[in-house]
Amino acid sequence: MLLDEPLSQHTSLKVGGTADCFVTPADVDDLQLLMALLDQNGASYLVIGGGYNLLVRDGGFCGVVISLRRLQRLEELSGSRVRVEAGVSNGALVRFTEEKSLAGLEFLCGIPGTVGGALAVNAGAHGEAVLEKVETLTTLKDGGVTVRRREELNFGYRHLTLAPGEIILTADFLLAAGDRREMEGRIEAFLAHRHSAQRVRYPNAGSFFKNPPGKQAWRLIDEAGLRGYRIGGAQVAEAHANFLVNRGRATAGDFIELAGLIKAKVRERTGITLEEEVRIVGEDRDQGSGNRDRQNQ
Ligand SMILES: Cc1cc2nc3c(=O)[nH]c(=O)nc-3n(C[C@H](O)[C@H](O)[C@H](O)COP(=O)(O)OP(=O)(O)OC[C@H]3O[C@@H](n4cnc5c(N)ncnc54)[C@H](O)[C@@H]3O)c2cc1C
């Protein structure tokens, strides 16, 4: 357990305050014990994966941040299925399915982060999204383990409805017998496309805003004249107008101000209100201590 742990070290934007407490449970049993303890004490908690879709405010997180990076089990089941724990990286999952010639998850290859994080936000690319491939999702909710089939889940574009504080433990993916060479070809093509479309050299969290229906957020931002616009250390990337980057010494406040300005300008110009894809958590700097309200995501 780490105290006053800087969350800038656990997020790809490299900003934000500290967590009162930062824990990394060894396995699911350990996590269940921890959750029982936190529930007894009414403590606030936030579960994180790789932190590639997270903006932590400058006041940090008042409570316990739980990293699931040690939940690393990954196994093949019968019937072209794999069972994956939340802390496994997307890259490791794609490599595993490639080795087993189980097709369907190649599109995940360039999306940084963990499977738990990908499921929580229904990450996707190239017209596919991760929850479409799920057979069952196992979560921890109010101290009990719940298993739901995909049909029972409420999900959509970059969205999954979870109960407050619900934690994804594992997913079973239903894949298809594939040809390994074809899979390798798809992975190479996806990575090459990403390499050319996202030449962003500074810390970022991928697309900052969701694409509004029928529109591309980067185009709306670009047309508002904001490519390259900078507030403090936060900047609209020159290489991709929907990526906000940390040019060094940025604060979370810089990103929040820049995001607010982008939303205002795009709304003024088009009437469209952009919605953040990046999850914004934690407290503002002047609220960083003493606020113990439950804020489980
Ligand atoms: C360069 C770059 C490119 C990217 N490209 C893409 C892309 O093409 N498509 C795309 O969809 N995203 C993309 N992203 C964003 C990011 O990689 C994905 O959203 C990824 O799935 C986040 O996973 P994570 O483990 O880092 O989650 P985190 O950022 O740690 O968490 C994200 C959210 O999920 C919650 N969460 C995490 N784990 C769990 C769990 N086990 N149970 C319950 N809730 C949980 C967190 O509380 C938080 O609200 C990109 C990011 C970068 C930096």
- What pLDDT, in 10s, does the model give residues 235-292? 999 999 999 999 999 999 999 999 999 999 999 999 999 999 999 999 998 765 444 3
Structure tokens of 295?
A: 């804020």
Ligand 1 centroid–CA 235 distance in Å is 21
Ligand 1, from 14, 48, 69, 138: best to mutate by most atoms within 8 Å of Cβ?
A: 48
Ligand 1 centroid–CA 52 distance in Å is 5
pLDDT at 283: 94
Residue owning the nearest CA to atom 28 of ligand 1: 51
With the C-alpha atoms ordered 119, 174, 89, 149, is the resulting torsion angle positive or negative? positive
Is the predicted pLDDT of residue 117 greater than 70, yes or no? yes
pLDDT at 285: 83
Closest by alpha carbon to 36, among 28, 262, 226, 225? 28
- Determine the average pLDDT of the residues in 60-87: 97
Q: Report d(CA 281, CA 284) in Å as an integer.
A: 9
DSSP letter (8 states) at residue 152: G
Ligand 1 centroid–CA 129 distance in Å is 12
pLDDT at 287: 61
Second CATH level (architecture) for the domain 2-69 = 2-Layer Sandwich (3.30)
Confidence category of residue 79, pLDDT binned at 50, 70, 90: very high
pLDDT at 205: 97
Write out the residue limits of the CATH 3.30.465.10 domain(s) in the chain.
Answer: 74-184
The pLDDT > 90 percentage for the chain reads 91
pLDDT at 292: 34
Is the predicted pLDDT of residue 297 greater than 70, yes or no? no
Catalytic: 277? yes
Catalytic: 75? no
Structure tokens of 42?
A: 């009414």
Q: Taking all residues of the chain, what is their mean pLDDT, rounded to a whole number?
A: 94
Name the residue with higher pLDDT: 116 or 287.
116
Task: Please state the length of the chain.
Answer: 297
Write out the residue limits of the CATH 3.90.78.10 domain(s) in the chain.
Answer: 209-276
pLDDT at 286: 73
Exposed e or buried b per residue across 27-37, where buried means at least 16 C-beta atoms within 10 angstroms of its C-beta: ebeebbebbee
Confidence category of residue 168, pLDDT binned at 50, 70, 90: very high
Ligand 1 centroid–CA 122 distance in Å is 9
Q: Report d(CA 58, CA 16) in Å as an integer.
A: 4
Is the predicted pLDDT of residue 154 greater than 50, yes or no? yes
Classify domain 74-184 by CATH number: 3.30.465.10
- Determine the average pLDDT of the residues in 163-175: 97
Ligand 1 surroundings by CB, under 6 angstroms? 12, 46-54, 68, 86, 111-114, 116-118, 120-121, 123-125, 167-168, 204-206, 279, 297
- Determine the average pLDDT of the residues in 12-17: 98
Classify domain 209-276 by CATH number: 3.90.78.10
Candidate list 5, 98, 277, 283, residue with the active-site label: 277
Residue owning the nearest CA to atom 8 of ligand 1: 125
- Determine the average pLDDT of the residues in 161-186: 96
Written as one string, the DSSP assignment of 253-297 is HHHHHHHHHHHHHHHHHHS----BSSEEES--GGG-SS-------
Catalytic: 158? yes
Candidate list 81, 95, 150, 158, residue with the active-site label: 158
What interhelical angle do 180-197 and 90-99 show, nearest 10? 150
